[in-house]
Amino acid sequence: MFNNSTDRLVSGAITGALLTAAIVILAIWLDFPSRRYADSFVRLAVPVMISAAVLFPRPLLLRTIWNGRRQPWVLDEDLDQLMRGRTVGLIGGVLIGITMAGQMF
């Protein structure tokens, strides 16, 4: 696994979807932010921003600032595909999380 860019795309999408769905379900279950003070858009945007803050810093830093610290066999194309996969996973995780939260609560 992780021999080419497609593997990184798929692993990023799966990781992003699972993590985002879990954060969306947890935020809805904990009622964070509260329904009394925030509308539906804000209640969905907060878990998405938390997920993005968890998913994207390492690939972005490896691509830009930590360029010398990464392994020699990790190419820029691999990091691009990883970020694309995590973006797709973020979008898919939001949809999965909303669906599962609607069924559970």
Query: Which pLDDT belongs to residue 30?
Result: 94
- Which pLDDT tens digit goes with each residue over 49-100? 999 999 999 999 998 998 888 888 888 899 999 999 999 999 999 999 999 9
Q: How far apart (Å, rounded) are the C-alpha atoms in residues 39 and 43?
A: 6
Query: Which pLDDT belongs to residue 1?
Result: 57
Structural domain boundaries in the chain: 5-104
- Whole-model pTM? 0.90
> Is the peptide bond prior to 33 cis by the omega test (within 30 degrees of 0)?
yes
